[in-house]
Structure 1
């Protein structure tokens, strides 16, 4: 198989059809000498003359006549595999289940508008949102997950990704908190507060801690909860402060500022923006339905997370 050249199959198909080196060369856009060398290679590969001279013409050998139809079929099959002709995607009749993996924060923000957009264009499509306990790439590789949404990072070299939006952290504390008493929030007062941290894996440290440490400060983490909604609920009813991605406030803005009496503030330290991306295995790259899914997810994020 190391020396197999599928181009020889195409050349053999044309040679058997034309029964002429010159005619085959013309059809394949080659010189006559190049076509003659290809015929020599075919004779060596098949251990048969294939085409022999009879007067001024070439005629096929019994072996060539025997394989002609088989070669024709093989050539068309290879072209169908290596050059697939995709039919136009009919979203109204697309009957398919897509499995998406995303964390709770993204589902709270975008699941409802995404479902609405999908159902409007493709009413027969089903969406299954899978839990995201970790960043294991194996489900994508094995085809158990169609699309993953999360922080863009180095997961596996073959995984494709598309940036959906960039997120930033924003601080949250109740109105009347001592943090707001003396005007601008400085590093010392911020670090001295008691903090509640959202971490699915129970980790106390994060980008904010790294930024504080570089400036010689360390904050006091009193509570760790699994998700940002839990952290916001604690902040509503206590003197603890927290920070959350700005995107997770999209659906909670009215609640936060109306009954909860909380206030958003800019963190006194700078952290890198969070790149949220859609990720998929390259086997799905050219699939028309999967491409439509990716485009729809991106459009929903652009509409609802543009701030």
Structure 2
């Protein structure tokens, strides 16, 4: 059942009750959270059980557990409730300087460290009450982006992962190699022999989670010998320093990563595909004045990041 179907058949109060029950897994604690009496919430639970034809909560000894069906409902309920809150938070006119709006942005630590930090600095100057919540995406979030972005504001991710969603380009970047400072097997640039024989530290390694440069290596007919996979761009160099491993990093991170010490930036033996970082959102947010302001802020921040990289 989609969030729209749920909202069309149940009133908002019942949806709130369901979310509390699924979160607390206890009628007593859920009632306390909603400032309701236990009998009142028990009546809501009875309505929910009738509606879904499922117990929702099943007693196991002295405690309650969510039924398998209720476990499947948890994510849908959160999404539906977030969507409902977004409806009632919308305003015909919006003054950034007076707002306390929170924007939820999915992305990686690379995106947050580069453009996310700059966006927060600009927002502090122009809308001090506005808050940004930067949430790390996962492969599951990226694969389900069309649904996740109904209740989130945007996702910062390069081209190549999302399709059929509105977006705006932010800033370009490119890949370089990184090795330990004392890695005698590598000169000023990696060779194809280095790529074939030396062990690797990768950012991601799955069918839906990868980087464009690492995918290029496979397209050149090389299957890297992977010793470690780190789902963090900022942490990867820590797994390279003091080892014979090799890896790729984005140039926008070099001012931060080179401070770690024990590392050396090297060239690549092929021309890596350029990165174009973009901001993606759900079409439902397209005309919201507060969302339009947020997008313009990201575009401005993208120009600043690009200028810093070129300096």
Q: TM-score, normalised by structure 2?
A: 0.60
Identify if the C-alpha distance between structure 1 residues 196 and 291 changes in structure 2 by more than 3 Å, giving closer, same or farther: same
Q: Report what 2:104 is aligned to.
A: 99
| CA positional deviation for 1:218 | 4.0
Q: CA deviation at 1:154?
A: 6.1
Q: Name segments (4+ residues, structure 1) moved above 3 Å.
A: 153-156, 200-219
Change (3 A) 1:155 1:202: closer
C-alpha separation in 1, matches of 2:213 and 2:161: 21
The superposition leaves residues 59-93 of structure 1 with CA deviations (integer Å, 9 ceiling, x where unpaired) of xxxxxxxxxxxxxxxxxxxxxxxxxxx75x53221
Alignment partner of 2:192 out of 187, 194, 198? 187
SS at match of 2:240: helix
Give the TM-score of the pair, scaled to structure 1: 0.61
Distance 1:213 1:281 in 2: 32
Distance 1:96 1:204 in 2: 31
Give the 5 Å matches for 1:69-88: 87=93
Between the two proteins, the alignment pairs up a number of residues equal to 214
C-alpha change, 1:216 and 1:145, in structure 2 (3 Å) is closer
Residues in 2 aligned to 1:129 and 1:210: alpha-carbon distance in whole angstroms: 27
Task: Supply the distance in 2 between the matched residues of 1:203 and 1:100 (Cα, whole angstroms).
Answer: 20
Tell me the distance in 2 between the aligned counterparts of 1:284 and 1:216. 42
Q: Counterpart of 2:288?
A: 287
TM-superposition CA deviations, 1:220-258 (whole Å, max 9, x none) = 2222222122320011121211112222334334x04xx
SS at 2:99 equivalent: coil
Q: In 2, distance between residues paired with 1:284 and 1:167? A: 27
Q: Does 1:224 align with 2:229?
A: yes
Structure 1: segments with no counterpart, 5+ residues: 1-85
Partner of 2:114: 109
Please state whether the residue corresponding to 2:244 is helix, strand or coil.
coil
Matches for 1:19-30 after TM superposition, within 5 Å: none
Q: Give runs of aligned pairs for residues 1-307 of structure 1, distance below 5 A.
A: 87=93, 89-133=94-138, 134-135=141-142, 136=144, 137-140=146-149, 142=150, 144-153=151-160, 155=162, 157=164, 159-181=165-187, 185-199=190-204, 207-208=212-213, 210-253=215-258, 255-256=259-260, 260-306=261-307, 307=309
Based on CA coordinates, which of the two structures has the bigger radius of gyration? 1
105-114 or 229-238, which deviates more = 105-114
> CA offset at residue 206 of structure 1?
5.4
Contact 2:189 2:269 in 1 (8 A): no
Contact residue 177 and residue 190 of structure 2 kept, 8 A = no
SS in 1 for 2:96: coil
**How far apart are 1:116 and its partner, in Å?**
1.8
Alignment CA distance shift 1:191-1:98 (3 Å): same
Structure 2 CA distance for partners of 1:203 and 1:233, relative to 1, 3 Å = farther
